[in-house]
């Protein structure tokens, strides 16, 4: 289904979000107060406009209230990011996602009703570190402070054995959500599924349990 998005602030993060949404076939309104940034995005957005997103009249004239999803990717200027988020929530935008600069910025955004607060540099740093410390970890998604989803490469230790035989859930408290094999992905692996060498296992669990599984089970 085609959705309507607005992306405010076209730094590296905002412009990547904008380009990807547009590539996925959605309608995207790109907004920045810097004309060079706006000119650079025109081919990758449905509309691109120069506007100050802390100006209520400007936001109104862009019809921003009609967008279901707005991404606020204003970088260093925390005050503008907060004011823009506040205006968007007051105008009734249902999903406002905001890039936070730091913990205090995050706390303010939470208080004024931002629906989702992201820390791209921090999250990417964690994912890269996880990848660096283990050749077995392909990708890593933090669900909360305690729980994660990881993509792990199946080693010889688990190859040619079934999920039920490995008993990962009982021994490690982790669950295999899906198995990727070359181009195929099985999102409902049966307990009798036989794991092959170099399969990619998508596993959910407590971070400590995932670590145990990765270190001892694989």
Select from 100, 71, 107, 105 the least CA-distant residue to 88. Answer: 71
Strand order in the sheet with 47-50: 47-50, 27-32, 4-8, 69-72, 95-99, 116-118
Residue 200: enclosing H or E segment and its boundaries? strand 200-206
105: contact with ligand ATP by CB under 6 A: no
Query: Which span (19-27, 76-84, 89-97, 102-110) binds ligand ATP, by CB under 6 A?
Result: 76-84
Q: Is 95 exposed, middle or buried (0-12, 13-18, 19+ CB in 10 A)?
A: middle
Q: One symbol per residue from 141 to 160: x for binding ligand ATP (CB under 6 A), - otherwise; what is it?
A: --------------------
Contacts of residue 169, defined as CB under 8 A and 6 or more positions apart, other chains included, come to 175
CA distances 73 to 10, 49, 77, 209, Å, are: 7, 15, 10, 35
Q: Can you tell me which of 5, 6, 17, 54 binds ligand ATP, judged by CB under 6 A?
A: 54
Minimum distance from residue 109 beta carbon to ligand ATP (Å): 14
Q: Can you tell me which of 6, 7, 10, 18 binds ligand ATP, judged by CB under 6 A?
A: 10
Query: Which span (75-83, 107-115, 128-136, 145-153) binds ligand ATP, by CB under 6 A?
Result: 75-83
Query: Which span (12-20, 60-68, 171-179, 203-211) binds ligand ATP, by CB under 6 A?
Result: 12-20
Minimum distance from residue 34 beta carbon to ligand ATP (Å): 4
Give the C-alpha separation, 99 to 97, whole Å.
7
Instruction: Give 35-62 as a 3 state SS string.
Output: HHHHHHHHHHCCEEEECCCCCHHHHHHC
Specify the residue, 10 or 202, whose C-beta has the smaller distance to ligand ATP: 10
Minimum distance from residue 179 beta carbon to ligand ATP (Å): 35
62: contact with ligand ATP by CB under 6 A: no
Specify the residue, 118 or 200, whose C-beta has the smaller distance to ligand ATP: 118
Give the C-alpha separation, 214 to 218, whole Å.
5
Q: Which residues bind ligand ATP (CB under 6 A)?
A: 8-14, 31-34, 37, 52-54, 74-77, 80
């Amino acid at each position: 289904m085609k959705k309507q998005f607005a992306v405010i602030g076209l730094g590296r993060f905002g412009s990547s979000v904008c380009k990807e949404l547009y590539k996925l076939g959605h309608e995207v309104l790109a907004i920045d107060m810097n004309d060079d940034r706006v000119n650079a995005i025109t081919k990758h957005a449905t509309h691109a406009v120069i506007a100050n997103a802390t100006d209520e009249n400007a936001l109104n004239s862009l019809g921003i209230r009609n967008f279901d999803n707005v991404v606020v990717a204003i970088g260093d200027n925390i005050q503008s990011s907060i004011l823009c988020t506040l205006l968007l929530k007051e105008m009734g935008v249902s999903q406002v996602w905001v890039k936070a600069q730091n913990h205090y910025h995050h706390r303010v955004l939470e208080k004024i009703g931002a629906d989702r607060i992201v820390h791209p540099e921090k999250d990417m740093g964690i994912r890269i570190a996880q990848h660096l410390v283990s050749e077995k970890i392909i990708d890593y998604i933090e669900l909360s402070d305690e729980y994660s989803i990881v993509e792990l490469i199946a080693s010889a230790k688990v190859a040619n054995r079934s999920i039920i035989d490995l008993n990962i859930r009982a021994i490690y408290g982790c669950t295999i959500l899906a198995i990727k094999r070359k181009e195929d992905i099985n999102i409902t692996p049966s307990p009798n599924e036989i794991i092959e060498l170099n399969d990619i296992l998508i596993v959910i669990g407590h971070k400590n349990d995932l670590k145990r599984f990765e270190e001892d089970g694989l």
